[in-house]
Amino acid sequence: MERPAWEPATVAALAEAGARIYALDLDSAIVSAKTIVGVEYVPTDVTGAGSVATALDQAASDARPHHLNYRWAETP
């Protein structure tokens, strides 16, 4: 079973504390993602450098300090 990078409760607590969270994932995963106030889902295909650069540029436009957490999708 695949685990998210962070548990939803952790993400919600961080957002509630004022963190702005950008969740980068495929469109197909974003459609079914739980809505959490303070989380912005950014459609990203991590196999394409341009897609990742665009997503990171979007997150970088936020003037607040940034911390990066990632989890690569597991492949068989």
pLDDT tens-digit series, residues 2-61: 555 677 788 888 888 988 888 888 888 889 888 888 888 899 998 889 998 999 898 888
Does pTM top 0.75 for this prediction?
no
Q: What is the pLDDT of residue 38?
A: 85
In a domain, 19, yes or no: yes
In a domain, 76, yes or no: no
Q: Are 41 and 25 in contact (CB under 8 A)?
A: yes
DSSP 23: E
Domain range spanning residue 40? 8-60
Q: What is the pLDDT of residue 73?
A: 62
Which carries the bigger pLDDT value, residue 66 or residue 1?
Answer: 66
In a domain, 3, yes or no: no
In a domain, 32, yes or no: yes
Q: Which helix (H) or strand (E) holds 18?
A: none
The total number of structural domains that make up the chain: 1
pLDDT-based confidence at residue 67 (cuts at 50, 70, 90): confident
Return the CA Rg of the chain.
Answer: 13
